[in-house]
Amino acid sequence: MLEDKLARWNKVKEVCLRCRACPLAARRTNVVFGEGVLESKVMFVGEGPGEQEDLQGRPFVGPAGQLLDRMLAAIDLDRNKNAMICNIVKCRPPGNRTPTPEEGQKCLPFLRAQVDIVRPRIIVCLGATAVRHIIDPEAFITRVRGQWLERKGFWITATYHPAALLRDPSRKAEAWADLKSIRDKIKELGL
Ligand code: URA
């Protein structure tokens, strides 16, 4: 089972590493496919690689990533043990601009494949870009954060992007409430 997941993951990753479907490919240093445990019950989805991620080819390894790791640890999650971390777009948007809806759409088949392989029970959108691609193109993070919706067997929720929390620490109390809600859902589902 795990070997099967690994083989499928590596196959999709191989295709992703060669992808040139949108203009982001031209300026990337590395494709940032995603990382974590393939058996994870919880998947976190960010926006797209920043500078450090582009250089290292790994998601959430810059300042926002360090905060994300602490947020995960607060609810007993860890990308090396029981969590998966992916992004909407796998290549860095220049200057860390928000990816365009077209770039997001071009890249979404990779995320869909990742979800299909990992089959997490919970998907956590980190910030507005993930919310708009996964939950509703018109949604506002301030309105949907902390809410749950069940779709096709997945429990989906959202919280602030850690980069937003670094810019505006006054949102940390809400983010902590969202994390506790994720911890409660993990318990409720017996994961
Ligand atoms: N921000 C994101 O959305 N994703 C990363 O991988 C890093 C920073």
The string of pLDDT tens digits covering residues 70-126 is: 999 999 999 999 999 999 999 999 999 999 999 999 999 999 999 999 999 999 999
Q: What is the mean pLDDT of residues 141-151?
A: 98
158 in a domain, yes or no? Answer: yes
190 in a domain, yes or no? Answer: no
The string of pLDDT tens digits covering residues 14-70 is: 999 999 999 999 999 999 999 999 999 999 999 999 999 999 999 999 999 999 999
191 in a domain, yes or no? Answer: no
The pLDDT of residue 1 is above 80: no
Residue 129 Cβ < 6 Å to ligand 1: no
Q: How far apart are CA 10 and CA 8, in angstroms?
A: 5
Residue 60 Cβ < 6 Å to ligand 1: yes
What is the per-residue pLDDT for 93?
A: 98
- What is the domain range of residue 49? 2-185
Asked if 145 and 178 touch (Cβ cutoff 8 Å), the reply is: yes
Residue 87 Cβ < 6 Å to ligand 1: yes
Averaged pLDDT score across all residues of the chain:
97
119 in a domain, yes or no? Answer: yes
Q: Is 112 exposed, middle or buried (0-12, 13-18, 19+ CB in 10 A)?
A: exposed
CATH code assigned at 74: 3.40.470.10
pTM for this model (two decimals): 0.97
179 in a domain, yes or no? Answer: yes
What is the per-residue pLDDT for 21?
A: 97
Question: Distance between alpha carbon 51 and the CA centroid of its chain, in Å?
Answer: 17
The pLDDT of residue 3 is above 90: no
Distance 151 CA to ligand 1 centre (A): 24
What is the per-residue pLDDT for 16?
A: 98
Q: How far apart are CA 87 and CA 64, in angstroms?
A: 13
131 in a domain, yes or no? Answer: yes
104 in a domain, yes or no? Answer: yes
55 in a domain, yes or no? Answer: yes
- Our count of domains for the chain comes to 1
The fraction of the chain above a pLDDT of 70, given in percent, is: 100
